[in-house]
Amino acid sequence: MYVCICNGLTEARVREAARESGERHSAKAVYRHLGCEARCGLCLPHARRLIAEDGDAAFNAGALAARA
């Protein structure tokens, strides 16, 4: 599914770039990592949610592993 039509970015690509860059808060920073930038900006709220969800999932996985 596309997140950003202006840049042709899919959810998978945004999630992958967030993991590669280690960015967990800024969609604009993830876009920069991909060599592009927000144009209309309509995608930014959804992109931020994706990045935050992945960051939360990674944090929770780490917390569970630390308990084991």
Interface contacts to ligand FES, rule CB under 6 A: 4-7, 38-43
The least distance separating ligand FES from the CB of residue 42, rounded to whole angstroms, comes to 5
Q: Nearer to ligand FES by C-beta: 5 or 57?
A: 5
Tell me 33's DSSP state.
H
CA separation (Å) from 60 to 1, 21, 50?
A: 25, 19, 15
Closer residue to ligand FES in complex, CB, 25/39: 39
Of 43 and 50, which CB lies nearer to ligand FES in the complex structure? 43
Give the CA count within 13 Å in the CB-facing half-sphere of 58: 14
